[in-house]
Amino acid sequence: METAKGVCLVIGAGDDTGAAIARAFARDGLTACVVRRDRHAETLEALAQSIRDEGHDARAFPADARDEDAMIALFEQIEAEVGPIEVAVFNIGANVMFPVTKTTGRVYRKVWEMAAFAGFPMGREAATRMLDRGRGTIIFTGATASVRGGSMFSAFAGAKHALRALAQSMARELGPQNIHVAHTIIDGAIDSGFIRDNYPDVDARRAQDAILNPEHIAQNYVMLHHQPRSAWTHELDLRPWSEKW
């Protein structure tokens, strides 16, 4: 009987970093299962098709990561129809910038749901299945706000701090059971659509390697998955050589 191919699940498979992570793991031999909310279904399928066009395996699964029942169903479907989830990546950003006096409870709660709470059902469902197999990698994407609450980032910093705490707790619980849990701090601007639309000097930054390249971020995620367990990294910070920190 043929053994099912392993899966890399990417929650928050956006156009830039998330897409690069999915491609990198597909090239590494896993089936990329990419997830975004329903309103991005066409873009998500286009990403999966672009990976298949390269000769690799990919599936698109529109879903809201904040919906616990939807996440349970997603994991059950992928494990039943595609294969065992070997890598689970939580990559939802939810970066917003408001003065604290202009930040409503609705905004704060929404950012927390997207960037913090949504990581919990993904992490729990991934851990449940990986523990049964005695192996797996879970990666949470953090930001500068994970460790430093900047001015006008109260909602984002609160959420990212919470996600980092979740990753730390899971790493301590699951590491001794051969589940590698890692948290990355992406400390700097990423060469993304938002940055390209809003920063006039992006071309100059790119020419000087002064902006984070999504493909290079993705290479580090694959590296984390392949680390020997005698020398696991829990927290990996990535920034351009020119970034102040």
Work out the burial of residue 199: count CB atoms within 10 Å of its CB; fewer than 13 is exposed, 13-18 middle, 19 or more buried.
middle
pLDDT at res. 218: 98
Give every residue of the chain whose pLDDT is below 50, as ranges.
Answer: 1
CATH of the domain at 176: 3.40.50.720
**Residue 155 placed within a domain:** no
Domain span at residue 130 reads 7-94+118-144+160-237
Which residues have CB under 8 Å from 97's CB, separation 6+? Answer: 152, 153, 156
Cα gap 24→197, rounded to integer Å: 25
Three-state secondary structure call for residue 11: strand
Residue 245 lies in a domain: no
- Asked, for residue 101, whether it belongs to a domain, the answer is no
Residues in the chain: 245
Per-residue pLDDT at 194: 80
Residue 168, domain member (yes or no): yes
Tell me how crowded residue 65 is: count the other CB atoms within 10 A of its CB.
24
Does residue 188 come out as left (phi exceeding 0), alpha (psi in the -120 to 50 range) or beta?
left
What tokens does 245 get?
């920190």
Quick check: is 2 in a domain? Answer: no
What is the reported pLDDT for 93?
87
- Quick check: 56 and 25 in contact, CB under 8 A? no
Place of tokens 């709660």: 109
pTM above 0.85, yes or no: yes
User: Where does 65-153 have alpha helices with state H?
Assistant: 68-81, 105-112, 119-133
In a domain, 113, yes or no: no
Residue 1 pLDDT: 36
What gap in Å lies between CA 175 and CA 62, rounded to an integer? 30
Q: Is residue 227 part of a domain?
A: yes
Distance in angstroms (rounded) separating the CA atoms of residues 111 and 83: 31
Domain count, the chain: 1
- Confirm whether 138 is domain-assigned: yes
